[in-house]
Every structure is written in structure tokens, then in C-alpha cells.
Amino acid sequence: MVLVRARARHRRRALREVWPEVVDHLASGVRAGLSLPEAVAQLAHRGPVELREPFGRFAHDYRAGGRFGDALDALKERLADPVADRIVEALRLTREVGGQDLGRLLRTLSGFLREDASTRGELEARQSWTVNGARVAVAGPWVVLALLSTRPGTAAAYDSPAGITVLVAGGLCALLAYRLMLRIGRLPAERRVLR
């Protein structure tokens, strides 16, 4: 579970870095005169490497069925990311409503995504200070206890059932406090609202 969560967190962080680039590619494709489906399909070749495969499958789905909405739905399920959901729904809305504001919409979305990634990165950096402080606070008493245990009188104090109970209870309290601090200090994960 820990490994899967860590990999998922790493994937979300890596994708958060490339979404503005995806939107920039879309905007440049539309500016160059491509239709919206062609601009999205072009991301399979010119987009970020991490996302080329899902966009390649989008291109295949669109060529096979010719239905932009269905291909977008499949893309959204493949990506399974809250930012992707926003981008896909913005593209869908623009395609259905029409208008000439697509370039402005994409530039605004790109700026928002960059600002969001920057803010989240800053918060994660500040959070790492808190987590490191908690690690030091949890490890501190045990380091002191290890240093004191080199003295014969201190080691003898914990060489009884009551001493072992105190050590186990202290260890459980330290572990519980550490886990609680990590849960309280964790940044909320962005949820998929536009499924």
C-alpha cells in the first residue's frame, strides 16, 4: 500500500508539471489553424512524453468513430486526473458552444495551471519542514534513551517488566503521534469532480 501510494503521489506530481505544456500545445495547434480534434490528436506526437500514449489512443478512437465527445470521454477515463477532467470539459464545452475565445480560454487555463503547480510546490516544500521536525521530535527521546542506556544504572531501570512496559507504551505513543501529525499536516489531494 505504501509503495502504491508513493507511486501515485509521484505520478500526480509529475503530471502536474506537464499539464500547462499540454494546454500550450493545444493553444498553438488551434492558433496554427488545426481543428480542435486534430490539435488534441497531435499531442500523441508533440505533447509531453508521459502523456503521448493516452493521446495516441484518443487519436485512434476519434479516427475510428469520428465522435469527439466519445473520444474525450475515453481519454478522460484513461488519464483519471482532476486536471485532465478540467481540460477535457473545457474542450468539450468549447466544441459544443463554439466561439472564438478558445485561444484565450486555453491561455487562461495554462496560466492557472502554472500558478496552481507553483503554489502547491511551495506548500509541499513548507510541509517537508514540518514533517522533518516531527521526525526529529519523535527520534529525539529515543536517541537520548540510547545514550543514557550506556550507563549501567539507567539500563538496569528498564530491565524489568515495568520498564519494558514503559518503553513499549512510549514507542506506541510516539508512533501514534507521528502518524497523527502526518495525517493532520497532509495537503488535501485534488479530487475528480468532473467525472
Query: What residue spans define the domains of the chain?
Result: 2-116, 127-185
138-166 per-position pLDDT tens digit: 888 888 888 888 887 777 777 788 888 98
In order, the DSSP letters of 20-77 are HHHHHHHHHHHHTT--HHHHHHHHHHHS-GGGHHHHHHHHHHHHHH--HHHHHHHHHH
pTM of the model: 0.67
As a whole number, mean pLDDT of residues 10-27 equals: 85
Give the Cα separation of 186 and 128 in Å (integer).
10
Provide the pLDDT for residue 172. 92
pLDDT in tens, 37-74: 899 899 999 888 888 999 999 999 999 988 888 999 99
Q: DSSP labels for 82-98?
A: HHHHHHHHHHHHHHHH-
Q: What are the Cα distances from residue 146, in Å, to 138, 172, 173, 187?
A: 14, 17, 18, 34
pLDDT, residue 192, reads 64
Higher per-residue confidence, 96 vs 188: 96
**Mean per-residue pLDDT, 4-10:** 82
